Structure 1
Amino acid sequence: MRIRDALSAMDIEDPNPHADLWVWYGKWSDGSLPTYQSRRRYITDLYEPLLDALHSTSRTVIKPQEPTGWMRVDRSMEKIGNALERARDEEDFQSVGLLCREAVISLAQAVYDPEKHGALDGVPPSPTDAKRMLESYIAQELQGSAYDYQRKFAKAVFDLAVNLQHRRTAKFRDAALCAEATRSMINTIALLSGQRDPER
């Protein structure tokens, strides 16, 4: 059952239809697999798709990101990619959410200037209040109604990361989605800040 549980955590279905060795014995002794070669072929066909799926999960899930120039942000994204590749159970996937949250906090700290950006409600955000720092940053950098969607995007990514940390049934897709959303958010802010501008 531990194998089946581990595969389930990776969103991979266990291909083995035999609950135990006695069930398997009943299968190969019923005459449908009369030779060693036929039994070997049966097992190969049964597990080959699983092996392909496991090999594919060992590849890089999150594409390497072009450095932003913000060292802590870049280190965080590298850690997120590594953690996602190694993740195998709920606790591992939750830890990806924690890393995503820390990456967003580092991003907010990199771009937020309290004197320039202030606070939308007049109350200075704490050093770890990434949502409010990014809201204020976007509001100042993109004056008018044009910033509304960017602000919602920033809030949604942060909330997704926090939600994943507390989700005891977190799976691979949850963690991968959170990591990809975080990467997109970092790239968006990097573009807004001029970090992606071509060198002149």
Structure 2
Amino acid sequence: MITEPMNLYLQTDFPHAEQALIFHVGLGAVLAEQSRGELDDNEPTSPPWRRYCDALRAMDEASESEDFQAVGIKCRDTLIALGKQYQDAEWLGDVGERPKGGDFKGWAHLFAERLSEGRQRSYVKTLVDKTWDLAVWLQHNANATPFDADFVLDATGHLVTVFGRLVMRNEHDEPARCPQCESYRVDDDIEDDQDGAGFYESVVCAACGWRSERAYTSWEEHFAPDRVERIAEYLAGAGTGISDRLHSSPHASAAD
């Protein structure tokens, strides 16, 4: 048995431990390469990620320097798509002099200004400049090698991921912290009323046991007619929430 990732190998197939280890390391490398461009089924496929996957496929089929140069072109296209993706985002706010549509560096620097600060902002801006320069360098490198293309692919994928995380952080509130011990291990807690007429809601810290003031809600209030009507309207309408994707899946359609 070999761990990370755990796998089982028959001793009859691999008489010596060294043989099994070599095979295991090689298998892990292959799986990592295959999953590099895979997206979570629950995540929408954005234009930058689609172009990045095109670059990965081009790398799989590349064998000559001009093929590796083409990977650089596709990485550059990925970055341009990333610059265009958020040009109309609400968090961008008012932009005095808008960069040209394909000016990746200009837009990406604006994104960094809005989405980060301090050392993070400086890092993201440097990452923007260096990643773009790498992609352009690979595009024009007549002696490009597989290592060069892989290096630029990794840099491009990392930058797309960085901006994705910054945008996600901007769209969600900062994680709650316990006011007593400042731990992030806080969660909502619901307790039924003893007489069964309602329930109490509070926030509890799993680290120190702190609990917020409990708020009481009666079942009659919770299931008020207007609330039930809103829920019914939501369920009857065309779903737009994350859970509503289930209704548009092929399995759901077949079941209907």
TM-score of the two chains, using structure 2 as the length reference: 0.49
Q: How many residues align?
A: 142
Letter in 2 for 1:185: L
Q: 1:147 aligns with which of 85, 107, 121?
A: 121
2:122 counterpart of 1:124: no
Q: Which structure is higher in helix share?
A: 1
Shift, 1:108, TM fit: 1.2
Q: 1:173 aligns with which of 120, 129, 147?
A: 147
Secondary structure class of the residue paired with 2:71 = helix
Shift, 1:65, TM fit: 3.7
Letter in 1 for 2:168: G
Q: 1:143 to 1:112 in 2, by over 3 A?
A: farther
Aligned residues with identical type, % of pairs: 24
2:162 counterpart of 1:188: yes
2:27 counterpart of 1:64: no
Q: 2:53 aligns with which of 50, 62, 78?
A: 78
RMSD: 3.0
Shift, 1:63, TM fit: 1.2
TM-score of the two chains, using structure 1 as the length reference: 0.61
Contact 2:39–2:45 (Cα < 8 Å) also in 1: no
Q: 1:87 aligns with which of 62, 69, 72?
A: 62
Secondary structure class of the residue paired with 1:107 = helix
The answer to which of 94-103 and 137-146 deviates more is: 137-146
Q: 1:80 to 1:170 in 2, by over 3 A?
A: same
Q: Which residue of 2 aligns with 1:134?
A: 108
Contact 1:118–1:124 (Cα < 8 Å) also in 2: no
Q: 1:159 to 1:172 in 2, by over 3 A?
A: same
1:174-200, CA deviations, whole angstroms, 9 ceiling, x for partnerless residues? 111001110011111110011897x89
Secondary structure class of the residue paired with 1:194 = helix
Unaligned runs of 5+ in 1: 1-52
* Higher CA-based Rg: 2
Shift, 1:117, TM fit: 5.2
1:96-116, CA deviations, whole angstroms, 9 ceiling, x for partnerless residues? 000000001111111233883
Matches within 5 A, 1:35-114: 60=33, 63-66=36-39, 69-113=44-88
The answer to which of 71-80 and 155-164 deviates more is: 71-80
Shift, 1:123, TM fit: 3.9
Shift, 1:118, TM fit: 5.7
Secondary structure class of the residue paired with 2:128 = helix
Shift, 1:62, TM fit: 6.8
Secondary structure class of the residue paired with 2:101 = coil
Higher relative contact order (CA 8 A, sep 6+): 1
Secondary structure class of the residue paired with 2:99 = coil
Letter in 2 for 1:170: A
